[in-house]
């Protein structure tokens, strides 16, 4: 049975991310090539076009369902897409809920590592340790959060941080259930 036929059977002839049924094609999930069905997903034209630079956040709300797919390739693609959209509160919430088995997490990181090597800015914490997306940090000083009406207390753990390319020296993280930006100099990597 061909890879395409295996994917059509597995996906019930629909996109494995959004469930659309037209313009389906095989997409190999990096760093693998498309020679085995377990390393590929079947995607519609919209998902394929949006995958490299997600623009239509409403389309990607389909990840709320597909992130629970039992196929590791679908989980990896859902995680990576949510990570690209993590500036959106709903996407970060889904990412926080998502659990990946260790081997699937290693697959996610293998593809993300290739993308992060291209970053020109290196973001360092208060001790000079490099910060990367997905790291956990603690706050080393009480910080007033402007516009939110609370203080981020020293010692607060911030998990699964995101890097903020638009604001150098800052990271994005969730404190007291709110997505905020924090200065990397006031953080310590865990």
CATH number of the domain within which 132 lies: 2.30.30.40
pLDDT confidence band for 66 (50 / 70 / 90): very high
**Is residue 42 pLDDT above 80, yes or no?**
yes
Which residue in 180, 159, 16 sits closest to 98, CA to CA?
Answer: 159
Claim to verify: residue 128 and residue 111 sit in the same structural domain: no
Mean pLDDT in the chain?
87
pLDDT confidence band for 47 (50 / 70 / 90): very high
pLDDT confidence band for 113 (50 / 70 / 90): low
Claim to verify: residue 147 and residue 173 sit in the same structural domain: yes
pLDDT of residue 101: 92
Claim to verify: residue 112 and residue 128 sit in the same structural domain: no
Which of the 8 DSSP states describes residue 141? S
| Residue 44 dihedral angles phi and psi, to the nearest 5° | -80, 170
Claim to verify: residue 102 and residue 133 sit in the same structural domain: no
Claim to verify: residue 41 and residue 133 sit in the same structural domain: no
Range of the domain at 47: 3-116
Show which of 74, 101, 116 is a domain's final residue.
Answer: 116
Claim to verify: residue 105 and residue 129 sit in the same structural domain: no
Claim to verify: residue 162 and residue 84 sit in the same structural domain: no
Conformation bin of residue 43: beta by default, left when phi > 0, alpha when psi is -120 to 50: beta
Name the domain count of the chain. Answer: 2
Claim to verify: residue 98 and residue 127 sit in the same structural domain: no
Claim to verify: residue 150 and residue 57 sit in the same structural domain: no
**Is residue 20 pLDDT above 90, yes or no?**
yes
């Amino acid at each position: 049975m061909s890879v395409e036929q295996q994917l059509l059977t597995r996906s019930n002839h629909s996109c494995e991310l959004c469930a659309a049924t037209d313009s389906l094609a095989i997409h190999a999930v990096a760093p693998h090539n498309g020679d085995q069905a377990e390393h590929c997903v079947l995607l519609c034209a919209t998902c394929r076009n949006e995958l490299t630079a997600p623009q239509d956040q409403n389309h990607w709300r389909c990840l709320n369902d597909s992130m629970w797919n039992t196929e590791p390739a679908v989980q990896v693609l859902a995680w990576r897409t949510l990570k690209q959209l993590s500036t959106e509160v709903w996407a970060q919430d889904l990412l926080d809920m998502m659990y990946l088995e260790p081997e699937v997490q290693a697959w996610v990181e293998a593809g993300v590592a290739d993308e992060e090597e291209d970053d020109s800015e290196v973001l360092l914490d208060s001790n000079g340790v490099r910060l990367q997306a997905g790291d956990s940090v603690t706050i080393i000083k009480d910080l007033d959060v402007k516009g939110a009406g609370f203080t981020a207390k020293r010692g607060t753990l911030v998990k699964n941080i995101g890097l903020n390319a638009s604001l150098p020296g800052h990271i994005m993280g969730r404190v007291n259930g709110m997505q905020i930006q924090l200065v990397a100099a006031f953080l310590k990597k865990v």
